[in-house]
Structure 1
């Protein structure tokens, strides 16, 4: 019999995965210890001509809980030093890079923008592999809530041969293939809104789904979905702010928001929109409004950080709704960013505000200015004081950098 005494090092695995089963030996001839400090040992005796296995299972962690996206595992004789790298032909180690496919859907004009008969909409699906290894793509784009109101005028096509795109059949098409680590591929297609007398429910909702997932019953985008929504209407909606979106604001400053509803058609149109203020009211207080500047539209009270605007807007009319907030003091703010968006009521707001958007605004809140030092009567001039502080800051920066460099070397040596 041969004496077995080996160590399995899972340190390069457990930064990206969790142990769910084992380690367990196939017979009592070998004993596998518990995992401690990312390792376990296997010892015992194996009779000549016999084989004994030790197995264990891990589950890959979600993206935000993973380390380097590579599962590297090595077994070596106990008491020896494991190899620093896993050679391609080494039977004592394994390397499994983790793929992370992230997809998203967008439309131009942006989601929640009203569109009119004859107008084109371009849809873009974006697929990115943010992991360390190649990853498979297998998704379905569902246009059934689009094609009752629009015609497909340009078939979906991929920007790279890494992904294959099928023809649209029964209101759907598939996207399949494999992306290398770090690779991004887009799929685009175009539709044109039908004439007014050919429209269906006047709501273009488009969904990116897993294969086999049924079409959502209602043309409604909810939080967390890869979905876009565009109503067909003669009403245009524009959100603006004073100061304009993108301007940095400070504590105590007022920001006035304005929602403008314009009916560019001849007949009356129904208005039903919601203004989402959650990203504003964590940093600012409502001090005026919201109020409409003309009759015809009803503006609700602000409840749960949102309010609605509803009613009938006659052809050719424009109505504006305004409100004002005051930025809180720094210690009373939330994320130091005033993000505000308007959507069709029932539709989920977008996670980010695209540059140039007419439906959202964003104002970063600047840091408060440091107080001026009081004059003490000493002969130390302001220039000398500022220079001295600058030297102190530079010295602290050099110390931090040196510490960071030493820590980096120590971590590298430990690997």
Structure 2
């Protein structure tokens, strides 16, 4: 590959690693080229440098001798994929001795410089002559490396074979190839490698293959590093043993055995070695130490710690430098809390998968505005020294707005955590509702931040920055609802008053409460409670949606902390309700599912929706209060005959019945008062028809007292008779109440407990012409009104003569309405009313004539003691006297007299002026 990231991808493929995905709610760091990993799950380090030696045409080879001009030529002869070039110590880049040769199993053709007699290497041979098969064994190492770690026959390796001097005849020498950091350099970068940033933990790795022999002759690979310009190199850890099976936990060891035949080695010719076998030791090596690099650049080399004489038959591949800086993750647990609750900010430091110790990292995390530490902290991380049993230094006192941590990861420790309890709160506004985001930009140094490895205080030192963690603080409303009835039990016809109170608790620092907006209040009034009305009143800054209404309560209100709304619902149990079941009334308050609030307390930013929390009155579900009222064991109902509202005439009898309904099983005490003060001013007490087994006393002071004990239903029945004279207000109003105290004058007349009968009747009189004498012998009839015309004759009420009174008629109780008065028989010698007279009776008993006919001789209306009288005045009929015999003279005289009388009637006819509105009710008359 041609670029650094391509090399990283190759290594990822070789390692066969899969990066772990995080859970959706977890704020995580992210390694380049991969998915977010879960906090606490180690990942491979990030490859910042990889050399896999694949930048060679297939089937060819490269070495020092591939170019002219010595070492400089070698440097330019092999550029890696990433554009880097390399160098090494003279003996270890000598291809004639099979050192520094880049080849693959497919590199069949041996270069000229690898053959004995080459001009550039007269004494050594990496070739195939004289039974020496070093070239072929190098190809075998490449084959094994490719089959084990990927690449197959096309995999190139870098050899360190150290072939000895030999000639075409037996004999020769094997000069040593030096070892060590200065003269044993197998491979070294010539240009600095850039790192992701300063203050990083770095580790190195390499894949090796070796034909093992004596332990002292096996290759031992040692990494060394320096920052650019440094005068010396620092070795990292101990040399890695290419043939040892006792490797560090971060090293893979494998062995592959090959019969030396053309078939098993992909066509290699083995000559004298044909039929033998060789075992290749394979290792994917990683040192057990990391280095802390303060700067952002790196130089690296690998040298052999074994001096080469015989043996050292090895090769290596995939030289890599890895950024193994631990990853920092942030999360709030829980990530959603109610206002006033605490959450825990968990900082997780996750090691990379080689699990080396990572000491002396630090962080300074500045909390979002409004979020503070409570002083409750804990950690599983080690101190900066990394000493076993120690604990990281965590600085986050109560009220602190930043968290400072300095600590370490132990070797083999996958992760450690720092837990800091936090709480959102604004002292002025008394709330912490908001959204608090703690992300990678919050790491800023403070006064207590320790310096990092480069001598500078950073917000984050030796750690990979995390992603964002968000804490959401939800508003809390604390609604409660109560409901009461003003009676412990109900009775038919009685009033019931319900009181519903909905409150929002007061807000405190320990338990903050938010204003509850758009709270819906419902109270479906039971059907048995009739004609309900309601009012709403508020306290503590609460607001009602409406001041009141009729029917069921349905309102939307706002209740701040400490406020309340109070509904008073008034209704009445129907008078004819004899149901014995309880009456249950249920009211409900439902807070809103969301509130629009600033994203943080006091923020000028546009409001955003927050889910509402109410532990006792869940939004969307609400809370309810109910009151159940049982039926009273004793219910008193009043009825009357005639039925209430019917008009009464004088002398009419009203029968009152008090029904005592016993709904229990045990005897019940009766103590009632029947108030006759509104009756006996217009009537006299008649007869007690039935005491129902109770004691009935009175009437005394116009009150009838009913007392005693009953075990079953019973009735008290009595009568009253309407007075003929000296009445009061012409209204019989009868009220029964419990106990000895009579009702007040302004108490309403409740059906079932109260009856009313108006006393309303009509007098009609027939008067002489001068109005001084009532005339006997007349007869009248009342007719109904038929759309403005006389209708059927009425029998109820009917006009009857008043006993002992001549010419005076009276109706029974007459209802308000329109009627016609017709004279059906006139007194002897008097004329009939020519036409029926139309009149109206008002609710108060007043009579008004409606368009009296023009030929009515005289009609007048008067009112005395609330009773109206229609007076009909008429003249005598004219009668011709009988004089002499029956001759014609008598006839002519009679006719003349009739004509004269008619003329007189025309000229002298008396006119009648009707005036029903005068105080006397009499019509004023006059002559034309």
Query: Shorter-chain TM-score: which interval?
Result: 0.3 to 0.5
Higher Cα Rg: structure 1 or 2?
Answer: 2
**If the length of structure 2 is used for normalisation, what is the TM-score?**
0.20
**If the length of structure 1 is used for normalisation, what is the TM-score?**
0.40
Answer 1 or 2: higher relative contact order, Cα 8 Å, separation at least 6: 1
